[in-house]
Amino acid sequence: DAKTTQPPSMDCAEGRAANLPCNHSTISGNEYVYWYRQIHSQGPQYIIHGLKNNETNEMASLIITEDRKSSTLILPHATLRDTAVYYCIVRVAYNTDKLIFGTGTRLQVFP
């Protein structure tokens, strides 16, 4: 799996959009970008994944650059409950192997 780089921490005001970047310059053609988050020692929670097109679900949007070397997870209206560590993971889709977690980005949403 390709390596990812994320900023260690970010702040966001409640109600504003939180934009979390991830660099994955060594991503392969068959690898997808997955995002998980972990709220204060709870189990990691799947958020979204994508290959090259932008993706949106009820939790977030995922914007992947055209060259696929980086992506941004967008929480459109952050709430205090979105305070968590966000992990960007690159892996082959439909792959049932282990997830490899890095250190992620600690997002702090403030009132």
Q: Which residues bind other proteins (CB under 8 A)?
A: 34, 38, 41-46, 49, 91-103
Q: State the minimum distance, in angstroms, from the CB of residue 14 to other proteins.
A: 25
**Residue number, 75 or 104, with CB nearest to other proteins:** 104
**Residue number, 53 or 96, with CB nearest to other proteins:** 96
DSSP bridge partners of 93: none
**Residue number, 49 or 52, with CB nearest to other proteins:** 49
User: Residue 44's closest CA among 109, 100, 108, 110?
Assistant: 100
Q: State the minimum distance, in angstroms, from the CB of residue 101 to other proteins.
A: 4
